């Protein structure tokens, strides 16, 4: 059975774990309504996606 020869230092452990962090979600400003939305998602305020009406617009 494989056994580590030396204890992994906190620095090396931290460097290995540095890629495990969660990325912040990206938001873009919708060019038609000006609202923030996720890329490749329907704009829920207007119901538009890629220039086509997909959903009924929300009434505030």
pLDDT at 9: 97
Q: Return the sign of the alpha-carbon dihedral for residues 33, 38, 41, 44.
A: negative
User: Where is 36: in which H helix or E strand?
Assistant: strand 36-37
pLDDT at 19: 92
Mean pLDDT by 10 residues, the chain (60 residues): 93 95 91 87 86 81
pLDDT at 60: 59
Query: Is the entire prediction scored with pTM above 0.85?
Result: no
């Amino acid at each position: 059975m494989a056994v580590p020869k030396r204890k992994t230092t906190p620095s090396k452990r931290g460097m290995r774990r540095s890629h495990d962090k969660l990325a912040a979600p990206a938001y873009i400003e919708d060019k038609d309504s000006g609202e923030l939305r996720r890329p490749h998602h329907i704009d829920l305020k207007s119901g538009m996606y890629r220039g086509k009406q997909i959903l009924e617009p929300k009434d505030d």
